[in-house]
Amino acid sequence: MQRLVDAATLRATVQGWRATGERIALVPTMGNIHEGHLRLVDAARAQAARVVVSIFVNPTQFDRPDDFERYPRTPDADADALSARGVDAMFTPNVEIMYPHGLDMAAYIEPTHSAQQLEGEFRPGHFRGMATVVTKLLNLVQPDCAVFGQKDYQQLAVVRAVVRELLLPVQIVGLATVREADGLAMSSRNQYLTPAERALAPRLYQALQAAGQEGAAAEAPLPAIEAYHARALNDAGFRVEYFRFRNAQLAPPAPADGRRVVLAAAWLGKARLIDSHPFDVARGQGTPG
């Protein structure tokens, strides 16, 4: 596996692969590689002959400086894990490469309306920073496809919207959330949990699953279901920021929608957990009792 740190070497490497007709996949990450990331690598390998994994802790998508400073950085362990999984190149640029004129003078991507709700309400500027750096990475690598996890369901929707709006010639592949055995979505931030909090954390996904069952009828009372589960999680020790139903395009659900998703963000101690649960809407059934 090649370890690349500058844009020129990355471009030359990718151009060499492309000259021989090889298909290229990109997996953008912020590092601290875990099994969830490695499943994205596996999905990328199924799509392309060459796989590039980027690792960049992007300062412009953090809404709190302390969160940026303490975000886990494990480059050597990441390199070992990615190499063992057959990654062809690990790209680890610094801030100066990704923002050559500095953060204050940078040009930014303003994402579409899908970024203004949910995470956008509680993390101002997050999707602006994320969309900007993802667009930069897509421009640098110019992959045939890029693979993202569905745990960040809204992020995936924003990336797809930006790619459509900017007419970027790349296929965006979404991979179902990778979970621990007890259902907790894999995340680098899970290491912030104490043992007691880790034992409680799977309750978030359990609530999403239950809400999905209760909200599967076309005319289900979605606001009441949202309120019930948010209250139950708060009572259990979480601090819920949102627990909401949306349709597959993140618009408010309508009875005619064939697919819905319930999304949540909640604090548990020092860890902010996000998760989602997409599900199909049942037809010809009454509201669950």
Could you tell me where the DSSP H helices lie in 99-252? 119-122, 126-141, 153-165, 195-200, 203-214, 222-236
- Using DSSP's 3-state secondary structure scheme, residue 288 falls into coil
Q: 4-55: per-residue pLDDT in tens?
A: 999 999 999 999 999 999 999 999 999 999 999 999 999 999 999 999 999 9
* CATH class, 2-175 region: alpha beta
What is the pLDDT, as a whole number, of residue 112? 77
| SS3 annotation, 175-195 | ECCCECCCCCECCHHHHHCCH
Whether the pLDDT of residue 289 is over 80: the answer is no
At 288, the pLDDT band (50, 70, 90 cuts) reads very low
What is the pLDDT, as a whole number, of residue 68? 93
Residue 277's DSSP bridge partners are: 262
Two structure tokens written together for 51: 């796989």
What is the pLDDT, as a whole number, of residue 284? 53
8-state DSSP, 281:
P
At 95, the pLDDT band (50, 70, 90 cuts) reads very high
Q: Tokens 């899908």, residue?
A: 114
What is the pLDDT, as a whole number, of residue 285? 42
Q: Which of 59-73, 162-176, 215-229 has the lowest mean pLDDT?
A: 59-73
Q: Which among 44, 45, 111, 38 is positioned nearest to 79, based on CA atoms? A: 38
Q: Which among 287, 284, 234, 240 is positioned nearest to 262, based on CA atoms? A: 240
Task: Report, as residue numbers or ranges, the catalytic residues.
Answer: 37
Print burial letters for 243-273: b (CB count within 10 Å at least 16), e (below 16): bbbbbeebeebeeebeebbbbbbbebbebbb
Kindly report, as residue ranges, where domains of CATH 3.40.50.620 are found in the chain. 2-175
Kindly report, as residue ranges, where domains of CATH 3.30.1300.10 are found in the chain. 188-280
- Using DSSP's 3-state secondary structure scheme, residue 237 falls into coil
Q: 189-248: per-residue pLDDT in tens?
A: 999 999 999 999 999 999 999 999 999 999 999 999 999 999 999 999 999 999 999 999
What is the pLDDT, as a whole number, of residue 287? 37
At 113, the pLDDT band (50, 70, 90 cuts) reads confident
Whether the pLDDT of residue 280 is over 70: the answer is yes
Average pLDDT over residues 155-166: 95
Whether pTM exceeds 0.85: yes
Pick the CATH number of 188-280 from 3.30.1300.10, 3.90.120.10, 1.20.1260.10, 3.40.640.10: 3.30.1300.10
